[in-house]
Structure 1
Amino acid sequence: MKKIIIVLLIGIFVTGIVSVSTFSDQYVDAGSTKKVHFTQTITSSQDPGLGHEDHQLALVLSPNEGTIYDGSMTFTSSELVNVIVLHEINQNDVNGQETWAVNESKIYGLSLLNPEKKSGSIEFTGAGVALHSTNSKEFTTTVSIDGWIRGQPTQVLEQKLEFQKEDPSLLLSRTNVPIEIPMHKGLHNGNEILYIITDASDKNYVNTISEKQELNIQLSKSLKNIPENNLQKIFLFKNGIEGDGFFGFQTDIFSETPQQSDYSPLGSIIEVTWKSGQKEIIFESADDIIDAEQSGRIKFNETNVVVNTPQIKWSGGQMTERSDKQISNKMSFSGGQITEINEDELIVTFVAHRSWDSNGKTIYYIITDVTPIGPSKLIGVKHSPSMSDLLTNLSIIEQYQFKNGIIGSGSLDFQPEIFNFSSDEENYNPISKIYLVEWHDSKSAQILQTKSDIDSFHNDDLITVSIARPSNNEYIINSPIVDPFQ
């Protein structure tokens, strides 16, 4: 256990103590009084207050010397919580009143403004505001604040709080969050498929899919460079009998499912149109469609558009649902990446993992397919052996996982991953090959956030970077980038 010293900065996360939203961009300058107005979702952490070790705390407005908050707050919470307001006092003024402190040198007066409940609205005046639970179960809360700050909130304070902390990666908040993704219906040899769409190589298709499913997908132009033999065929009908298909006609047809050894989550779209004068029927397999095209009843438009369409449920199988449905900052990657498959509403809930792109920008990703089979079983996703052929393909990206160093929320229980693509450029691809980063001296490890950080420490011979080969096999992951907060 290391002793960590946190310097409180107004308007940024008081990390390691609790997660608190940044609202510096919400300020409207009014001399020494400033307006604050924001809505934020916060995940609680262990209450660092002395005597509160078994409690949970979500800090909404951080305490700062000489600063007073005055306003109102509306909240909803996943657990029963109290509203706590802190007041600056000195040790001579305690005199038996309720207090909160993380050490003996700095003490705050404590007001509990409501009985425990899951939602409410309340007015406050004080040096800090938080939500507090008397049990140890992590909770999530969404708060809306409308008020004023008196004092100098942009000042860096030299007030230091010391406490014991074993996990420096708690400098990151919301490391795992849920994302609900719409499912679409498909067919393979007459059997129903439920699948999602996360990426497409064509901007027009990206816009159309995003609008139809009311959830944005990613543009990945580099998907066009995936060899055809690593793609399955997806047939979309532009006319014919009305149904559940993407364009409102018969259900989309897939050439493969995870039951086939050459299954790929990546598919090339073929648009199918019935020729005039032909008797329209419902097709149930790719072979039937190809036969009909060869006989002249339908025509194909081979769009050369590649989409990432991981299958969630298929004949004889489905992706693993986690037995532990609680999504938290410290949850394990093993045991599945899905918490719920809702077939009635056609919604699947994935765990989205927080990470960084090559420039250190925060991203979230999900995991849908893996090769080889060992990691796929451990993570609880589909085994897609055809992805191993992509190891040397220049279109896929690198994902750097840390096998030692700072304990954290990464897939190997150390710091989060770094992806070698920039969110601001066009080099994104959902398929990534895995590299391992290992510190020569784990005691000197630091949190790395960018690809240039990795390169610099590697050049200084402080880390080793090597391609991952579990069981002497290529390690490839389908890890689409998602936006859980749209």
Structure 2
Amino acid sequence: MKKLITILLIGFLAIGLISLSSISDQFADAGSRKKIHFTQTITSSQDPGQGHENHQLALILSPNEGTLYDGSMTFTSSSPVQIVVLHEINPQDSKGQPTWTVDGKTVYGLSLIDSQEKSGSFEFTGAALALHSPTSKEFTSTVSVDGWIRGQPTEVIMQKIELEKEEPTSLLSRTNVPATIPMHKGIYNGNQVLYIITDGSDKEYAKKISEKQEWNVEVAPGIGNVPKDALQKIFVFKNGVKADGIYGFQNEVFSSTPSQESDYSALNSVIEVTWKKGQKEIVFESATDIIAAQEKGRIEFNETGIVLNTPQITWPDGQMKIRSDKEITDDMPYGGGQIIEINEEELTVTFVAHRGWGPDGRTIYYIVTDATPSGPAETMGVVSSPSSANLIAHSGAVDLFQFKNGIKGSGPLGFQAGIAGASLDDENYSPMWRIYLVEWNNSEQAKILETKSDIDSFRADGLLSVSIARPLNSDHIVNCPFIDPFQ
């Protein structure tokens, strides 16, 4: 198409080169097509298209003659945006359809998805992909793309792909990123506990806490009916002495901490406590005192049936392990601790968020807070929670597939990133994961897999095997809440 419109204008080229140079580090060879996955933050600039001079454009995938992209994209943006997909066409074929052009000679068919949302997900096929605003106000967006390139990628990409053929490696951008999460103050036997809230079984309750802590609590219906022997209790106060608790009263009280290893669970059954009229209100310091007051008729309990995932970060005689190496890199070791910093003054904790794939191939990030048995927990540097083993055959745990061999990458065993059996917003989503191991029968035939259906297909063809992980011949459950580290 004549050199792609003489380099698409200086401003447009600059954006394209930035995108391509960044993206070029994030490809892996996946057969006849070329794989692409990346997460990138992009600031918009003036749209160079004719008639778009007062608009803003953030180019995600640059047009290149003979190239076709397809895949999925998830984005979050500082302003409402439209999704733009360009299609390579001959100018004489436009015939009244929406088009986009810089010079009037090279013309692209224009698909404009006018969702006017600040975030969303989208499946695409086309010659280019961008976010667009019909206003002149600059916007910034973070996008994650998982897809394929067909045709002739640019030379710089081809050089990178050829290099990786010598030693297959799954190259994901931002494989590990920092995730700073707000902490809450709790109480156990008169001493302070610092904890986080990542998931809740009830949508409205999760929304309420999200608004209070200004950080998303994900809805996890799957933990709402876990067996009692996988839970502990958290007492939440609806009146009484004012403080920083969930409802604005005294801090929450826990029934155990990781020091009571056989009893501890990050999954907590919420019991709301209300003082009866005429009673002298005090600050309770233990679950025993609360139960005694309820038996004497001073307070009332509301056993809500709601379950929260509230991993404890510090407790009276301990805390989660802090990594000795605090530099977060794409190839950093998986073990050795999951926390970079505990800031008790600001009440924040910074985890390493690990990148993986959801069941449909979309990018997910997760943190690791606790596990059973104790061996893997110690290796990862997280809390041991033996009670989680009670979920091994329960729907409160979901399948997570980790790779035992094949393509080298960022997974916990040193190979490609894992694939989850559920995503956020799925009815079966849970932060509690039942680990399965995927092993290629011939590692030289290994390819990068992204979806649960990929695993099923290759397994049906006899190319790989899947088995439940049983380290130390024990049931293995890991608390890996899915989060958005960029919020």
TM-score where L is the length of structure 2? 0.71
Change (3 A) 1:335 1:235: same
Q: Which residue of 1 aligns with 2:244?
A: 244
Residues 292-303 of structure 1: matches in 2 within 5 Å? 292-303=293-304
Cα distance, 1:259 vs. partner?
A: 1.0
Partner of 1:278: 279
Flag the structure with higher helix content.
2
CA distance in 2, matches of 1:26, 1:278: 63
Paired residues of 2:170 and 2:407 also in contact (CA < 8 A): no
Task: Show the counterpart of 1:434.
Answer: 435
Structure 2 residue matching 1:453: 3-state secondary structure: helix
The equivalences for 1:354-433 within 5 A come to: 354-433=355-434
Q: What does 1:297-376 align with in structure 2 at a 5 Å threshold?
A: 297-376=298-377
Deviations 1:454-474 (A, max 9, x none): 111111110010000111011
Could you say which residue in structure 1 is the equivalent of 2:482? 481
Give the deviation of 1:21 after TM superposition.
4.0
Quote how far apart the aligned CAs of 1:170 are: 4.7
Q: Is 1:30 paired with 2:29?
A: no
SS at match of 2:181: strand
TM alignment of 1:55-454, pairs within 5 A? 156-157=152-153, 159=155, 160-161=158-159, 164-165=163-164, 168-260=168-260, 261-454=262-455
Using the TM superposition, give the Cα deviation of residue 484 of structure 1 relative to its aligned residue in structure 2, in angstroms.
0.7
Deviation digits for residues 284-323 of structure 1, max 9, x if unmatched?
Answer: 1101101100110000111111000000000111000000
- Check conservation: 1:233, 1:267, Cα contact below 8 A: yes
Distance 1:180 1:459 in 2: 41
Change (3 A) 1:373 1:476: same
Corresponding position of 2:131: none
In 2, the alpha carbon distance for the partners of 1:462 and 1:24 equals 43
Q: Structure 1 CA distance, aligned partners of 2:480 and 2:51? A: 47
How many residues are paired up?
374
Partner in structure 1 of residue 125 of structure 2: none
Contact persistence 1:264–1:386 (CA under 8 A): yes
Deviation per CA, 1:343-401, whole angstroms, max 9, x where unpaired? 00000000000001111111000000000000000000000000011101023100101
> For 1:283 and 1:20, how far apart are their aligned partners in 2?
46
Structure 2 residue 13 is matched with structure 1 residue 15:
no
**CA RMSD between the two structures:** 3.1
Seen in structure 2, the aligned counterparts of structure 1 residues 31 and 445 have a Cα distance that, compared at 3 Å, is farther
User: Which secondary structure does the structure 2 equivalent of 1:344 belong to?
Assistant: coil
Shift of residue 31, structure 1, vs aligned partner:
5.6
Q: SS in structure 1 opposite 2:25?
A: coil
Once the two structures are superposed, residues 218-271 of structure 1 have per-residue CA deviations (whole angstroms, 9 ceiling, x without a partner) of: 101121110122211100111111123221211110001011122110001111
Write out per-residue CA displacement over residues 186-236 of structure 1, whole angstroms, 9 at most, x where no aligned residue: 011111100000000111111111000100111011211101222111001
Aligned-partner SS, 1:212: helix
Residue aligned with 2:400, SS: strand
In structure 2, relative to structure 1, the CA distance for the partners of 1:404 and 1:28 (3 Å cut) is: same
Gaps of 5+ in 1: 1-8, 41-60, 66-142, 146-153
Cα pair 1:16 1:168 within 8 Å, conserved: no
Change (3 A) 1:346 1:22: closer
1:433 aligns to what SS in structure 2?
strand
Task: Give the superposition deviation at 1:15.
Answer: 3.1
Task: Describe the shift of the 1:23–1:187 C-alpha distance in structure 2 as closer, same or farther (beyond 3 A).
Answer: closer
Residue range with higher mean Cα deviation, 162-171 or 333-342: 162-171
- Residues 167 and 408 of structure 1 are in contact (CA less than 8 Å); yes or no, is this contact kept in structure 2? no
- Return the letter of the residue paired with 1:172: L
Tell me the TM-score normalized by structure 1: 0.71
Question: 1:244 & 1:23 partners in 2: Cα distance?
Answer: 37
Q: 2: CA distance between counterparts of 1:370 and 1:190?
A: 27
Letter in 1 for 2:449: L
- C-alpha separation in 2, matches of 1:410 and 1:204: 34
Amino acid at match of 2:331: K
Distance 1:254 1:357 in 2: 33
The sequence identity of aligned pairs, in percent, is 54
The CA distance in 2 between the partners of 1:458 and 1:27, in whole Å, is 48
The one-letter code matched in structure 2 to 1:352 is: A
Cα 1:243–1:285 shift into 2, 3 Å: same
3-state SS of 1:171 partner = coil
Query: Which sections of structure 2, spanning at least 5 residues, go unmatched?
Result: 1-15, 28-36, 66-138, 142-149
Which amino acid is 1:212 matched to? K
Deviations 1:21-69 (A, max 9, x none): 49799995726999874499xxxxxxxxxxxxxxxxxxxx98979xxxx
**Contact persistence 2:320–2:382 (CA under 8 A):** yes
Asked if 2 retains the 8 angstrom alpha-carbon contact of 1:168 and 1:408, the reply is no
Helix, strand or coil at the partner of 1:210: helix
Match of 2:434, as an amino acid?
K
Amino acid at match of 2:25: T
